[in-house]
Chain A
Amino acid sequence: MIRYYLEFERPLEELELKIDELKRLSDGKDIDISKEIKKLEKKVKDLRSEIFSSLTAWQKTLIARHPDRPYTLDYINLITTDFVEMHGDRRYSDDPSIVAGIAKINTMPVAIIGHQKGRGTKERIYRNFGQPHPEGYRKALRVMKIAEKFKRPIITFIDTPGAFPGIGAEERGQAEAIAMNLMEMSQMKTPIISVVIGEGGSGGALALGVADRLFMLEHSTYSVISPEGCAAILMRKEGEIGTDDFSRAAEILKLTAQDLMGFKIIDGIIPEPLGGAHRDPEETAKSISELILVVLEELKAKPTGKLLEERYRRYRKMGSFTEGVL
C-alpha cells in the first residue's frame, strides 16, 4: 500500500515501511518476526499518539488538506444508501466541485451537499480542486430548495480552499451566488447540519455552512483566509515567504476545530481515528453518521418557526465587540 506521509509523519513512514517489509517476509508463520512486528506496531502507535497529541495549527491545516483524506463522496458512500446525485444549476452548467443529491442515512431521506475535491491529477482538475464557481453554489441552493419542498433535512459537508477566483466566476456573479446561499440558508424551512470535514476556506465554505448545528472533524480547519493568504499580507514588505510564515499565520488565525469550539462558533468536534480521518475512513464516517442521526432527531422535533428563530439568533449573536456609552 502506498501511503502519503506529511513531513512531520516521516518518522512513522520509516517504521511502517519496515513493518510492511517484515510482513512480506514472514507470511505470518515466523514467530520471531511476528513478535518483532508487534513490537514495531506498538512503537508506531505510541509515536503516532505522541505526534498527534501536539499538532500545531499548520500541521492540522496540512492534515485537513491531506491527499488521502476522505472527501464528500467518500462519506456519502460510507454513510448513505440510495444516493441520487443531482446536476446543474439550470442556468449555465454543472459544477463538479460541489456534489448534491438526496440519499438515505439509515432509513431517513436527507439532502446531502458538499464540496468535492479530486484524487489524482485528472480528477483534481475535473473537480477544480474543490473550488466552486457560482453554478456550484446555485446547484447546491436548488437541491436545498427541493429538500425544503419535500421536508427533508439538509446535511452539508464543507471542504474547500475557497470559491474559485476566475474571470468566468466573476462574470457569473460569484459574490451574489455565495450571498444568496447565506441568505436562503438562513431561512430554509428544514433542519440543516453542517460538518467541516477538511478545509473550511472562507466565504466559499460558508456558502454551504449556514446551519442549525455546525460540527468540525478533529483535524479540520475553518478560517476567513488561508494561512498562505494571511502570511502574504503580513509579510508583504519582507519578500519571500515560506513554511515558517504559513505556520505563524495559521497560529494567529486560530483556525482549528479546537479554537472554534473555544469561541463557541461550532457545536462540537467529531473525533478522528489516530493519525487522521484517512487512517480509518469507515470509523470516521460512523462517528459522523451517528452524530447526524442524534442531532437530526433533536432538530426535527422543533416547530419550523422555532427552528428558524433559533438559527437566526445563532448567527445574530456571533461577534466580539463592546458597546460604550456616549
Chain B
Amino acid sequence: MTWFKKTKEIRMEKKGKTPEGLWVKCDGCKEIIYKKEIEKNLKICPKCNYHFRISARERLKFLVDEGSFVETDATLESLDPLNFRDSASYKDRLRDNQKKSGLNEAVIAGDALIKGIPVSLIIMDFHFMGGSMGSVVGEKVARTAERALEKEQPFIAVSASGGARMQEGIFSLMQMAKVSAAVGRLKEAGILYISILCDPTFGGVTASFATLGDIIIAEPKSLIGFAGPRVIEQTIKQPLPDDFQRADFLLDHGLIDLVVDRKNLRDTLARLFELLL
C-alpha cells in the first residue's frame, strides 16, 4: 500500500527529534524546551500547543482512570505467514520492535474506566513498526470491539498508524475487512464507538475501523489521510496545500467531528458518555 512510503518517511523525518536528553526541540515552534516541562504537560509544547507523538503506554496513562486498565490479548504474536524477508527477516524485525518498544505488537487492548465509565479500548503505537496493522493488530481490534458488544459498553479506538503491514501481505489487507465487520456489529447493537485519530493515521487503518466511529476526534495538527502526501505529490505532480491532511483540514472538509487537545480529551469523552449513554 502506497501509504507505507509516507510512514517510513515520517519516521525518518522525525528521527532524533523525539524527546531525548534534557532538552528537546519542538517541531511546532522550533523552540528548545526543557524535557521535564513537556512531560508533565502530557507531552504538549507549553509554548505552541504542539502535541508530541506519544507511546501507547503513555497514552493509556493520560486517558484512563488510574489503576483501572486490565490488559487483554497481550500474548498474541504474528506467525509470519509469508515468511517475509528483505534486508532482515520479518521475524527479526518483530523481535527488534518488541525489544525497542516493550510492546508485543503495535496495539495494546483492554478494558478500563474513563471518568468512571467502563469502556473497551485499543491504543495503537506508532513506534512499533509504524503502527502498522497486521494479523495481531486486526485480531486485537476485532476482539476488543466484540468485547464492547458483549459487555454493552463503549468501544474506544486510539489510532496512530502508517496503514496495513506490508510484511503480512494479503493477511494484512484482510484485517481491514475483519475489523470493519466487527465495528459494524456495534452500530447494529447501538454500542457507542468513538474513534480518536493521532499523528499520523493513514492507509489501511483510516480505510477501515478508524473512520467508522460514531464520533471521530483528532488530536490537533495530526496528519491523517488515506494516501501519504509523498505518494499524492508524486502522482499528481503538484505541490500540496500547507495544511493538507492536517486535523483542521479534515474538520473543514467534514471528515471528523472534533479536534480536541490532549488535555481535554478525557473531559470531552466524559461529556459524550453523559450525553449519549
Contact = CB atoms under 8 A, between A and B. Distances in A.
A176 B255 contact: yes
Interface in A222-261: 222-226, 229-230, 232-234, 236, 252-255, 259-260
A214 to B, nearest CB: 10
Interface stretch (A65-73, A268-276, A292-300, A316-324): A316-324
Residue in B8, B177, B211, B240 with the greatest tally of chain A CB atoms within 10 Å: B177
Given A163-B226, A178-B207, A326 B181 contact: no
A202 B205 CA distance: 12
Interface in B220-265: 225-228, 231-232, 235-236, 238, 240-241, 244-245, 253-255
B79 interface: yes
B227 A169 contact: yes
Nearest to B241: A167
Interface in A187-219: 187, 202-203, 206-207, 209-210
B166 A230 contact: yes
Residue in B84, B136, B178, B188 with the greatest tally of chain A CB atoms within 10 Å: B178
B36 to A, nearest CB: 34
A172 to B, nearest CB: 7
Given A183-B180, A223-B169, A321-B77, A167 B244 contact: yes
A179 to B, nearest CB: 5
Interface residues of A, number: 60
Given A180-B212, A315-B174, A202 B1 contact: yes
A320 B168 contact: yes
Interface in A73-108: none
B180 A182 contact: yes
A32 interface: no
Residue in A232, A320, A322, A325 with the greatest tally of chain B CB atoms within 10 Å: A320
Given A179-B207, A223-B173, A312 B138 contact: no
A209 B142 CA distance: 19
A263 interface: yes
Residue in A206, A224, A255, A259 with the greatest tally of chain B CB atoms within 10 Å: A224
B225 A233 contact: no
A321 B76 contact: yes
A182 B236 contact: no
A209 B82 CA distance: 22
Given A167-B232, A233-B5, A319 B253 contact: no
Contacts of B28: none
Contacts of A236: 8
A206 B173 contact: yes
A186 B227 contact: no
A198 to B, nearest CB: 16
B208 A252 contact: no
A279 B84 CA distance: 34
Contacts of A164: 235
Contacts of A253: 82, 166, 169
A322 B75 CA distance: 8
Contacts of B75: 323-326
Contacts of B174: 206, 265, 315, 318-319
A316 B169 contact: no
Contacts of A222: 170, 173
A183 B183 contact: yes
Nearest to A201: B1
Contact of B173 (A202, A320, A324): A202
B4 A176 contact: no
B203 interface: yes
A236 B9 CA distance: 10
B129 to A, nearest CB: 12
A165 interface: yes
B182 interface: yes
Interface string A155-183: 00000001111110111111110111011
A224 B166 contact: yes
A254 B1 contact: no
What are the nearest 9 A-B pairs in CB distance?
Answer: A165-B227, A186-B181, A319-B135, A182-B180, A175-B206, A320-B81, A324-B75, A175-B226, A174-B226
Given A210-B177, A321-B78, 9 more contacts: A173-B211, A174-B225, A182-B180, A206-B177, A225-B2, A234-B87, A318-B174, A319-B174, A320-B135
